[in-house]
Amino acid sequence: MYIYADNAGTTKMSPVAIDAMTKCMNEVFGNPSSLHSTGQRAAEVLQKAREDVAEALGADFNEIYFTSGGSEADNQAIRSAALFGAKKGKKHLISTKIEHHAVLHTLKKLEREGFEVTLLDVGADGIVDPADVEKAIREDTALVTIMYANNEIGTLQPIDEIAKICKEKKVTFHTDAVQAVGHVPVNVHAQNIDMLSLSGHKFHGPKGIGVLYVRKGVPLFNLIEGGAQERGRRAGTENIPAIVGMAAALKEAVANLDENMAKISAMRDRLIEGLSQVEHSRLNGDAKKRLPGNVNFCFEGIEGESLLLLLDEKGIEASSGSACTSGSLDPSHVLLAIGLPHEVAHGSLRLTLCEENTPEQIEYIIKEVPEIVSYLRNISPVWEELEKGEKKHVI
């Protein structure tokens, strides 16, 4: 059996998105900045995609800026808010310990450039407390940036409450919604979101394309200098085929949202139930306030990487932590933030589902994972110590 269960890492493009892109590449090669008919045809296609993306987010089309992906959108949003804050003497930024590295590393860099950063803790459930956000806001706070949904443990943050607090306190609120858009309902105006990042390849669109939504009236600084594309805020000839493919994928995801959420979360809950049967295992992140497709477990006494390789041999493709950290030996900063000790955080498994997965696949995973975990524990010196009582079980 072949099972792709790493949809938080990236998704397979949908046929609708591929068709839209192929058609675009065949028929629309113009530069939207050109005044001739071929250029204007491209400009029309670009405008239509912008309107479709705006509609899917509950935004206006002139609040949509196309970027090269989620990372660029995060960088631009944070740097921009920091820069405009600094002009008014506000050099304090607030975020959480469980953000994606596109956010954390940008903040780290700004810290070296003289900004002060407060990284909020999350609870053992992987959720930030809005009261902590309120307490952290100061007179000189320029930005609160908190992700909509976590890419490792799938927890959904209380975005509505946080955004409301920021609105009352007149602090700009940005959310990295790369894992949320196309998977759970998002409406930027209704939810009082000032800036939001998304990425095409996380909802069956193409890679290398994303969006930064910026509410009208919120100033935006450009990261890339050059031509006047994106209303002067993001230079460079637009990647029209990718933009069109992303818009098509997003439209499709939003149209099927309720149906997919019900189907995927039923598979998620069955998978959680099945894997919970493994002794000395634990589900990471709140069981309900999580993305429909996210399952993240720790198994004591084993290494996540070994588990992944053996699962791959059985046709199951999963992840341990995020794609960006696998390959490094450091345990996930997210698992450490929810209070797991290093040795347990090393034995994590992330399975992220989409509507193409089937209940049969879920049963296969439920059968294979415990067998591989037992095999690895049998050859693990750490497990032996635990079993002999030389070391205490943590989970």
Ligand X SMILES: *Cc1c(COP(=O)(O)O)cnc(C)c1O
- Residue 76's Cβ-side half-sphere holds a number of Cα atoms within 13 Å equal to 29
The single residue listed with the structure tokens 């969006």 is: 211
Rg (CA), the chain: 22
- Find the binding residues for ligand X in span 148-167 (CB under 6 A): 151
Neighbouring residues of 330: CB distance < 8 A, sequence distance ≥ 6 = none
Nearest residue (CB) to ligand X, 103 versus 142: 103
Toward ligand X, which CB reaches closer, 176 or 300?
A: 176
Using Cβ positions, the residue closest to ligand X within the complex turns out to be: 70
Q: Is 24 a catalytic residue?
A: no
100 is a site residue for ligand X (CB under 6 A): yes
Nearer to ligand X among residue 281 and residue 348 (C-beta): 348
Min CB(183)–ligand X separation in Å: 11
102 sits near ligand X (criterion: CB under 6 A): yes
User: Least separation, in Å, of the C-beta of 100 and ligand X?
Assistant: 3
Catalytic residue among 24, 166, 298, 324: 324
Nearer to ligand X, 141 or 322 (CB): 322
Residue whose tokens read 């598979």: 267
CB 212, CB 67: distance < 8 Å: yes
- Asked if residue 172 binds ligand X (CB under 6 A), the reply is no
How does DSSP assign 101-169, residue by residue? HHHHHHHHHHHHTT-EEEEE---TTS---HHHHHHH--TTEEEEE--SB-TTT-BBP-HHHHHHHHHHT
9 is in an annotated binding site: no
Q: Rounded distance, CA 254 to CA 250, Å?
A: 6
CB of 102 to ligand X, least distance (A): 5
Tokens representing 43 are: 């400009």
Within 195-234, the residues that bind ligand X by CB under 6 A are 199, 202, 210
Q: CB neighbours of 237 closer than 8 A, spacing ≥ 6? A: 31, 32, 33, 227, 229
Smallest gap from residue 60 Cβ to ligand X (A): 23
- Sequence-distant (6+) residues with CB within 8 A of 258 are none
Residue 70 near ligand X by CB under 6 A = yes
Smallest separation (angstroms) from ligand X to the CB of 221: 19
**Residue 199 labelled as part of a binding site:** yes
- Examine residue 176 and tell whether it contacts ligand X (CB under 6 A): yes
Q: Which is nearer to ligand X, 74 or 368 (CB)?
A: 74
178 binds ligand X (CB under 6 A): yes
According to the annotation, is 179 in a ligand binding site?
Answer: yes
The CA distance from 73 to 279, in Å, is: 41
324 is in an annotated binding site: yes
* Pairing outcome for strands 348-352 and 294-299: antiparallel
The DSSP code for 297 is E
Kindly state whether residue 147 participates in binding ligand X, applying the rule CB under 6 A.
Answer: yes
Binding residues for pyridoxal 5'-phosphate: 70-71, 151, 179, 199-201, 237
Contact positions toward ligand X, by CB under 6 A?
69-71, 74, 100, 102, 147, 151, 176, 178-179, 199, 202, 210
Annotated active-site positions, please? 324
